[in-house]
Chain A
């Protein structure tokens, strides 16, 4: 059988519209190209502006993880200005970031991922009817509850920053807010509401404490068997259905993973520096190389970008991102042998292409590198090894597993606030270079800022999507999503839902849109779909 080329436009968007080209032979993807189709030029806009302009502009790079951009922008200025950040402020920044991610988990899972399980492809699965009942867009029982309750955690963000999305309450030297008893009590109540109305009864089918006993793949399987409530929870149901429809069979990717680490420790990062950052994060940074099963620390100086296959006129050698000049080329025709995307290829100087995201974070969390006091969790690494590497399903599990840990971290922040201690220490503005990083829900994010003469000389951002969506690099090696697409089975080329599964399993900033439904789900929606 000959090769068939499929251009899917659009697949999804955010950080640029995402289009995918795949070549299919004998029902499997044999080659793939991902291309981002939007250029707004934030780096260009920021040049020459106020040093603090990034606090206002960069959250608007992405309204889905704007709080993470704000975090990176503030820490970048903190390192450039040599500020002191009071512990209350560190906790308040962490809390904002945590609730943004907690929000993202049900919103992403139900709103963007699980609706695919109602695709006609899976009609023969014994889980299908139940999936339709739970996950149908807008009307599914879990969909409606999950999407609605996803608005709750960010109410806590609003208590700190006035609104979510797009507050700029984090500033060099601390935060703008000074929450009172009212705010803190409400925040506790909102967390509790989220736990008792969705997280425990619907999502886990058990208490957080019971879930936290799971340390290995076997523990997880035992947990599934232990109680019908576990099996029938959305997590338990999803896990069983995913195996049934083969989500554990494809979507591997590049096999190397990166995280910058995140959540600065409130007592260890009050005098932030670029060099001191790794040892001060609660969730450690690192690179996991699955081919050699080794963990190493990640450092900003290891990052490189290559623009050979991107629509920029900045040469074809690997350069450090902070040396970029962001020169878009006027003619952005799609040329799959040359340039075909606004995303760049991001690399590690030694390890090459790396996957960023929740799976990366959890694989790194299983390493014994880093500081002894830093968070360690070997569960996902164990699942990864038992399953023989990455696939869509383990990538999902990593994402979903995080919610309980983050919930605990949110409690920690609320407990540790000392309401009458300072929230801000006014810094002195000065020239210099700064770097700030964090983990957005969907992966490693960092900002470099260079201030000269009291204004921004250069501002560069590497978003999670850039690691994952990037096109081929200088050696023509495929990017993580491109690589993960290879080997994907395509049942129906007119409705390649599997491509969507792979792309979305990265939970990259692709607010993806690969969907279809058969007569059955169609009927469910028919009430609303006829004019």
Chain B
């Protein structure tokens, strides 16, 4: 039996909704087949009011073993560090978190808000939100840089807005089945198994990327979304085109530019005027290039690619 307590801070429930879309295993399978016991969850839990408060104290005092604390949503510190703008079960959520974090064997942050602060922490961050162990790319966050859960691991970060259901279920199962030791974390404490590759890996528009053929406008059946529409697929660590969304698709497959939501900088450029769904360029060259590619090589590559491009690269590709 692995006890899971799932709480939400400054959250929209998007990660919960995403989690409920899980299919292999489903949320019910987690419980019946993998020995996961949901102590409580804001949408699915059984207790309310005092009964829940008692359960939370039992976890803190060790009367009920807390194997995994899952946190969704940002840690709200407003106003002035008191956390009173997000009270939960009659206390600032952040106070519950401090106590529960000491009691938990593993802590899993799901979604951008819990990992980096997410949309609530966007400037001017009115709710003084933080992620559990990061604020944007800056290490530390609410629990501090050196925090380790009882298991010795830092907060396991599963970013994404929302996190993909399979990313969540696989990590929960890995912990429940004693496999978590096999999992390597990257420098942002993300499981590498999901975040070592790029969104672009597996994107059906890859061939257009290679030939520099662009989707100039939305609603087109050709081209790559990188050159005009601001796709962050080449720069974003995610498995969205490998572990498909809702089993059937991904943003870029459907024609929507990747927003880079698994990276701490999401939403990029703080959504300043002129930055939404538009590639930022300097003299026609994208300002940001795939990691490790330098500007000179890129210019050369562009020339070659354009020269080499077959005619079909500019024609409708995904036709009816």
- A-contacting 9-mer, from B185-193, B242-250, B289-297: B242-250
- B-contacting 9-mer, from A159-167, A239-247, A316-324: A159-167
Contact yes or no, A49 B256, CB < 8 A: no
Contact yes or no, A11 B49, CB < 8 A: yes
- A170 to B271 Cα, complex, angstroms: 17
Contact yes or no, A45 B10, CB < 8 A: no
Contacts known (A40-B126, A66-B12); A175 close to B88, Cβ less than 8 A: no
Contacts known (A53-B271, A164-B246); A513 close to B52, Cβ less than 8 A: yes
What residue in chain A is nearest B267 (Cβ atoms)?
Answer: A56
Q: Mark A84-117, 1 if CB is under 8 A from B, else 0.
A: 0000010000000000000000010001100100
**How far, in Å, is A525 (CB) from chain B's closest CB?**
8
The 8 Å CB contact of B79, one of A62, A63, A331, is A331
Residue B15, interface by CB 8 Å: yes
Residue A276, interface by CB 8 Å: no
**How far, in Å, is A119 (CB) from chain B's closest CB?**
10
**How far, in Å, is A69 (CB) from chain B's closest CB?**
10
Q: Mark A9-37, 1 if CB is under 8 A from B, else 0.
A: 11111100101000000000000000001
- B-contacting 9-mer, from A191-199, A248-256, A417-425, A442-450: A417-425
Residue B162, interface by CB 8 Å: yes
Contact yes or no, A51 B273, CB < 8 A: yes
Residue B99, interface by CB 8 Å: no
Q: Mark B65-105, 1 if CB is under 8 A from A, else 0.
A: 10000000010101110001111111000000000000000
Contact yes or no, A44 B246, CB < 8 A: no
Instruction: Give the number of residues in B that approach A within 8 Å (Cβ atoms).
Output: 94
Residue A528, interface by CB 8 Å: yes
- A161 to B250 Cα, complex, angstroms: 8
What residue in chain A is nearest B125 (Cβ atoms)?
Answer: A45
Q: Mark B41-63, 1 if CB is under 8 A from A, else 0.
A: 01111111111110000000000
Chain A residues near B239 (CB-CB < 8 A)? none
Contacts known (A53-B271, A64-B13); A11 close to B48, Cβ less than 8 A: yes
Chain B residues near A332 (CB-CB < 8 A)? 79, 84-85
Contact yes or no, A165 B17, CB < 8 A: yes
Chain B residues near A41 (CB-CB < 8 A)? 120, 126-127
Contact yes or no, B127 A39, CB < 8 A: yes
The 8 Å CB contact of A514, one of B23, B48, B219, is B48
Contact yes or no, B20 A151, CB < 8 A: yes
Residue B200, interface by CB 8 Å: no
Chain A residues near B274 (CB-CB < 8 A)? 50, 454
The 8 Å CB contact of A178, one of B1, B3, B124, B220, is B220
Residue A177, interface by CB 8 Å: yes
Chain B residues near A426 (CB-CB < 8 A)? 217-218
The 8 Å CB contact of A515, one of B45, B87, B126, is B45
Contact yes or no, A17 B220, CB < 8 A: no
Residue B221, interface by CB 8 Å: yes
Q: Mark A407-443, 1 if CB is under 8 A from B, else 0.
A: 0000000000001101110100000000000000000
Chain B residues near A513 (CB-CB < 8 A)? 40, 42-43, 45-48, 52
- A42 to B118 Cα, complex, angstroms: 12
Residue B27, interface by CB 8 Å: yes
What residue in chain A is nearest B85 (Cβ atoms)?
Answer: A39
- A83 to B40 Cα, complex, angstroms: 47
- A331 to B80 Cα, complex, angstroms: 10
The 8 Å CB contact of A14, one of B12, B46, B51, B253, is B12
- A291 to B74 Cα, complex, angstroms: 44
- A454 to B84 Cα, complex, angstroms: 35
Contacts known (A17-B86, A60-B161, A163-B246); A531 close to B1, Cβ less than 8 A: yes
Chain B residues near A422 (CB-CB < 8 A)? 219
Chain B residues near A45 (CB-CB < 8 A)? 119-120, 122-126
Contact yes or no, B120 A40, CB < 8 A: yes
What residue in chain B is nearest A456 (Cβ atoms)?
Answer: B273
Contacts known (A56-B271, A111-B44, A514-B48); A166 close to B13, Cβ less than 8 A: no
**How far, in Å, is B56 (CB) from chain A's closest CB?**
11
Residue A1, interface by CB 8 Å: no
Residue B319, interface by CB 8 Å: yes
Contact yes or no, A37 B14, CB < 8 A: no
**How far, in Å, is B239 (CB) from chain A's closest CB?**
13
Residue A186, interface by CB 8 Å: yes
Contact yes or no, A158 B46, CB < 8 A: no
Determine which residue in B46, B161, B219 has the highest number of CB atoms from chain A within 10 A of its CB, and name it. Answer: B219
- A454 to B127 Cα, complex, angstroms: 26
Contact yes or no, A40 B90, CB < 8 A: no
Residue A171, interface by CB 8 Å: yes
Contact yes or no, B251 A167, CB < 8 A: yes
Residue B180, interface by CB 8 Å: no
What residue in chain B is nearest A495 (Cβ atoms)?
Answer: B51
Chain B residues near A51 (CB-CB < 8 A)? 273, 276
Contact yes or no, A516 B46, CB < 8 A: yes
Residue A283, interface by CB 8 Å: no
Chain A residues near B86 (CB-CB < 8 A)? 17, 37-39
- A39 to B84 Cα, complex, angstroms: 9
Chain B residues near A529 (CB-CB < 8 A)? 37
**How far, in Å, is B133 (CB) from chain A's closest CB?**
20
Contact yes or no, B256 A10, CB < 8 A: no
The 8 Å CB contact of B221, one of A9, A39, A66, A178, is A178
Determine which residue in A14, A61, A115, A516 has the highest number of CB atoms from chain B within 10 A of its CB, and name it. Answer: A14
- A455 to B44 Cα, complex, angstroms: 40
Q: Mark A461-494, 1 if CB is under 8 A from B, else 0.
A: 0000000000000000000000000000000001
Chain A residues near B259 (CB-CB < 8 A)? 56, 168
Residue A157, interface by CB 8 Å: yes
The 8 Å CB contact of A161, one of B217, B251, B319, is B251
What residue in chain A is nearest B30 (Cβ atoms)?
Answer: A138
- A62 to B65 Cα, complex, angstroms: 32
Contact yes or no, A177 B256, CB < 8 A: yes
In order of increasing CB-CB distance, the 10 nearest A-B pairs are A63-B14, A424-B219, A41-B126, A423-B219, A162-B251, A163-B245, A158-B246, A162-B254, A515-B46, A511-B43
A-B CB contact pairs (8 Å), 16 listed: A11-B48, A14-B12, A40-B76, A49-B270, A50-B276, A63-B13, A147-B26, A155-B246, A157-B246, A164-B21, A164-B246, A166-B14, A174-B218, A328-B85, A423-B218, A513-B45
Chain A residues packing against B (C-beta within 8 Å): 6-14, 17, 19, 37-42, 44-45, 49-53, 55-57, 60-64, 66, 89, 107, 111-112, 115, 137-139, 143-144, 147-148, 150-151, 154-155, 157-169, 171, 173-178, 180-181, 186, 328, 330-332, 342, 419-420, 422-424, 426, 454-455, 494-496, 500, 511, 513-517, 528-531
Task: Identify 4 new A-B residue pairs, CB closer than 8 A, beyond the known A57-B119, A158-B247.
Answer: A38-B10, A148-B23, A169-B251, A178-B255
Chain B residues packing against A (C-beta within 8 Å): 1, 3, 8, 10-18, 20-23, 26-28, 31-32, 37-38, 40, 42-53, 64-65, 74, 76, 78-80, 84-90, 118-120, 122-127, 129, 161-162, 217-221, 240, 245-256, 259, 261, 267, 270-277, 318-320
